[in-house]
């Protein structure tokens, strides 16, 4: 079978459709080292509309954000949608993870609501998954998605000072710590976003030539 010819990647960077500095930094750590690509967030970019995340799946929201921003900039864009799915809550908070306690909720408020919702639920039924879906939208090409997951349990109280979101409550049984206690080095290897990012890296390598 003849080797598939890869398309040249003419940019020195890649836009991620977020204004969240944590997400920009995490993806930049991976792609800058592996492909020499600098990751740019949306801060300071003009003409980017506020995108309502109104889809009922992580895939739907990620694709909507990536395609909307790629259409404005006329260049490749990645976007992620991520959240926490708790088995005992039938997959909630899911796509509503960032606003579980209401629009504009803080991490502390979301964590507090989650603990309230799980009050009285035994440890054996507190299984949960962090899920991250990343969409890659390239003008003129089919949008592609990758998915990463990290499994664990919801702790009975917050622990740890690292990370953000639900990290202080997300307990990793095989390590005996929460994601917030594990620290950034561990998180960069095992988190849902790290696993999705590795799949994004594989996708980029398979389809494009980054030699310049």
Q: Exactly one of 54, 80, 81, 209 is catalytic; which is it?
A: 81
Task: Write the Ramachandran bin of 94: left for phi over 0, alpha for psi from -120 to 50, otherwise beta.
Answer: left
Cβ-contact 193, 166 below 8 angstroms: no
Binding-site entries for Mg(2+):
81
**For 58-67, b where at least 16 C-beta lie within 10 A, e where not — what string?**
bbbbbbbbbb
Binding-site entries:
18-23, 81-82, 164-167, 187, 192-193
CA 172 from centre of chain:
18
Percentages (nearest 5) of helix, strand, coil residues in the chain: 40, 25, 40
**Residue 204: what are its φ and ψ, rounded to 5°?**
-65, -40
Concerning whether 174 is annotated as a catalytic residue, the answer is: no
Query: How many other CB atoms sit within 10 Å of the CB of residue 73?
Result: 16
Q: Which residues are catalytic?
A: 81
């Amino acid at each position: 079978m003849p080797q598939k010819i890869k398309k040249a990647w003419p940019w020195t960077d890649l836009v991620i459709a977020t204004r969240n500095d944590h997400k920009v930094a995490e993806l930049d750590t991976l792609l800058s080292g592996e492909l020499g690509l600098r990751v740019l967030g949306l801060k300071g970019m003009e003409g980017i509309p506020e995108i309502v995340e109104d889809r009922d799946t992580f895939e739907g929201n990620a694709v909507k954000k990536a395609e909307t921003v790629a259409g404005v900039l006329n260049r490749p864009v990645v976007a992620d949608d991520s959240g926490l799915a708790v088995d005992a809550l039938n997959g909630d908070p899911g796509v509503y993870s960032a606003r579980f306690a209401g629009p504009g909720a803080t991490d502390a408020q979301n964590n507090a609501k989650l603990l309230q919702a799980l009050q009285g639920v035994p440890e054996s039924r507190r299984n949960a998954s962090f899920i991250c879906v990343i969409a890659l939208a390239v003008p003129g090409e089919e949008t592609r998605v990758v998915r990463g997951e990290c499994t664990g349990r919801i702790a009975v109280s917050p622990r740890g000072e690292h990370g953000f979101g639900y990290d202080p409550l997300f307990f990793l049984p095989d390590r005996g710590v929460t994601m917030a206690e594990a620290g950034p080095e561990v998180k960069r290897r095992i988190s849902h976003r790290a696993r999705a990012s590795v799949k994004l890296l594989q996708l980029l390598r398979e389809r494009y030539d980054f030699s310049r």
